[in-house]
Amino acid sequence: MTDLKGRDLLEPSDFSEAELSSIFDLADEIIADPGAYTAKGKGKLLAALFFEPSTRTRLSFESAMLRLGGEVVGFSEAGSSSAAKGESIADTIRTVACYADLIVMRHPKEGSALVGAATSDVPVINAGDGGHHHPTQTLTDMLTIRRRKGKLDGLKIGLCGDLKFGRTVHSLIRAMRSYEGTEFCLISPEELRAPGFVIRDILSSSARYTETANMEEVLPQLDVLYMTRVQKERFFNEEDYIRLKDTYILTPGRMEKANSGMIVMHPLPRVNEISTEVDADPRAVYFEQAKNGMYARMALIMKLLGL
Ligand code: NCD
């Protein structure tokens, strides 16, 4: 059964492999014939509550709802909501659930989406809760991997950069660990290694993993290289950020060491970690990934609203 109507999406393991596949199948169908979906969401209202900055996640959700023929309300900064007056997340979400059919929320506090979902009468989608999880980026990432590599199993995935605070990394690992033959290469400086809860996720699955600080050493073996930005906003002091921010920079020279079928992914925004010269390499799929994000979110909205 893959009936997702009325469900929340707070972290990737809220959905089974079959349920995830049903979202990717629908996204593929939407990509093949977007015109067939323009009235599916008519009469439905999405609330997009962004207490933290966003370009792709917010605009792709809004575009997704509008392209389904639905409507969108919301805010793009906490300062313009009653959070600025001291209202709790629980009260804000309980209120918005009176107006909308579906709530998407991003908040700097880990666990905030769970708190919101507990008081909501309508489905809540976590669009990023601090340095914890970002499951709809994972839908975007997995749809891109599936479309590019034709499968989700048996892949060697390198995750590079800020594995400590990078919520997209935490969510991608949680989802991909259960596919047969998955192998993770965790590439980071010592101070930005993946946290214990992520390592325990891998250890409780059949996936294998290695940790290294050396990108070049593992590059030739990878099927997927997932680059990430060092998460400046989660650092306690700026000196550490400045010291670590340029640890890894993917250049055309480094791409020569990678195999010809490897894809380069990035949730974006990019700062310095991928040189813009790499953008022309056919293996660079990060803007395609951003576009897939809208289709993955159209499919998710349809599933949660039972459209
Ligand atoms: C990511 C995020 O917000 O965690 N961005 C996104 O949603 N595409 C990655 C990041 O900000 O580095």
Residue from 137, 141, 173, 286 to probe ligand 1 pocket by mutation (most atoms less than 8 Å from CB): 137
Ligand 1 geometric centre to CA of 86 (Å): 26
Ligand 1 geometric centre to CA of 267 (Å): 6
52 exposure class (CB count in 10 Å sphere: 0-12, 13-18, 19+)? buried
Amino acid identity for residue 280 in this structure: A
Give the closest residue to 92 by CA, choosing from 119, 70, 68. 119
Whole-number Å distance between alpha carbons of 119 and 91:
8
Whose C-alpha lies nearest to ligand 1, atom 11? 269
Give the closest residue to 297 by CA, choosing from 31, 90, 6, 13. 31
Q: What is the percent of the chain where pLDDT is above 90?
A: 96
Whole-number Å distance between alpha carbons of 264 and 111:
30
Sheet holding 124-129, edge to edge: 71-75, 45-50, 102-107, 124-129
Residue limits of CATH 3.40.50.1370 in the chain: 12-133+292-305, 135-290
Whole-number Å distance between alpha carbons of 248 and 273:
6
Pick the CATH number of 12-133+292-305 from 3.30.1370.100, 3.40.50.1370, 3.40.640.10, 1.10.3720.10: 3.40.50.1370
Confidence of residue 1 (pLDDT cuts 50, 70, 90): low
Whole-number Å distance between alpha carbons of 203 and 231:
25
Please report the atom of ligand 1 found closest to the CA of residue 140.
Answer: 8
Token pair listed for 88: 């709790």
Can you tell me the mean pLDDT for 146-170? 98
Please report the atom of ligand 1 found closest to the CA of residue 162.
Answer: 12
Task: Give 56's strand partners.
Answer: none
pLDDT tens for 23-55 read 999 999 999 999 999 999 999 999 999 999 999
pLDDT tens for 167-205 read 999 999 999 999 999 999 999 999 999 999 999 999 999
Residue 100 has a pLDDT of: 98
Please report the atom of ligand 1 found closest to the CA of residue 127.
Answer: 7
Q: Is 270 in the pocket of ligand 1 (CB under 6 A)?
A: no
Considering the segment(s) 135-290 as one domain, its CATH architecture is 3-Layer(aba) Sandwich (3.40)
Q: Is 293 in the pocket of ligand 1 (CB under 6 A)?
A: no
272 exposure class (CB count in 10 Å sphere: 0-12, 13-18, 19+)? middle
pLDDT tens for 119-143 read 999 999 999 999 999 999 999 999 9
Residues in the chain: 307
Residue 80 has a pLDDT of: 84
Helix-strand-coil percent breakdown of the chain, rounded to 5? 45, 15, 40
